[in-house]
Structure 1
């Protein structure tokens, strides 16, 4: 990304970043977003009831099943459901939802295990949300990189914030770039929209001013010559930075950068008691 460092250009850069960040914060505050999650329940073959969802839930060879008592009802794909409902087998990192009153009941598969996560819009974590602290935008953290595709996607297993859980991604390639006088690279995972890339990383600020476990950065699809732009001003927290009811992946070991990326989102206010946290905008 070419940037003309003039007063007008700097103002425009900062304004565009603030508009983007306000939109990001608004999306985080969605009434059924991850800030509304009230629990993560790992399902087994034994039907089990939970305080924040109706019915008895279990999983087995045919996938997730809920058995609703008389008077209990959920809505799936717009249709009321009573009695038993089978969600079927779920793909990894996929899921299904049902509504229950003003709540959304999420069924998902993570690390080869099925789970249930109710989203209640009145959850205090969501209703008390008041934005995300971040470094001031700075054009020097907009970095030109080069994407190098692997001959074949590499199956990459990474850890999780949930002890014992593993995530497996098919990494299509890596991004090489220079920053702070260092030659660096990041393994990239498939991003959104299709063709885009996603990088999970830590750096020397992790656990000091930024969330310890991981941050993520979306990268637009590479150009025909592999050119990409890394705008670390738009590095954001994963859900685990806000809630303990998340199963976020950790970055691959090669994505632990040895420099301080003083850009992007900081430790959330919700983690205010994290040691050494710096919460100033």
Structure 2
């Protein structure tokens, strides 16, 4: 590990870290451009690099994209990536109430803490976690899906979770439109070529959050805009908030790492489970 840290101190490495992270933040802040799309576009640019530099660039791009998506989620109530949908639930009301700087600072320090924890786990227990992840089968995925629906009900209302359960099963129904992943069996397309490709996650997310916010603003007659006039919170001042919430931060880091090692289950699922 010490050799790897020494290798990071070179000028070439620092430059690659800087531009890849900034590029990821720009991609993440633009709704509709996901981390997966950013990685696909960036992979072709890493062919001429060494293996270590290429992996470093892709990791920095990925982390920067997920973090950058919190900007549009907090300020516009439109998640930049699916993982930032949970951030928009709490971040946008903070921004509207004049605490945009505080929300952005908390997102920054939380992203830093989570990334460091994930990197440490990757170094210490990656081989063992890989063996566990490969044993994840159909039954485990089914139970995880049911668990997600139960969480949706709890998030909606502890006393009356029925609305959340209905929304969860409706989401599963929408996700089933298109070709089945294993055997390419066509489901719920009704002969439509457009529906055979399924309903993409990003258009659904932008429609659910972005279009809904536009309609609410039109009905209100005046858009709710974020303001920072009442709050000048710096990122460093949010370190104390992270320490005061260290139990929540540690629990969320563990949840994110555990969900992240499961094949096919990404950061968006981890964010909602942690939020619940």
TM (norm. structure 1) is: 0.29
Of Structure 1 and Structure 2, which has the larger fraction of its residues in helix?
Answer: 2
Higher relative contact order (CA 8 A, sep 6+): 2
Of Structure 1 and Structure 2, which has the larger fraction of its residues in strand?
Answer: 1
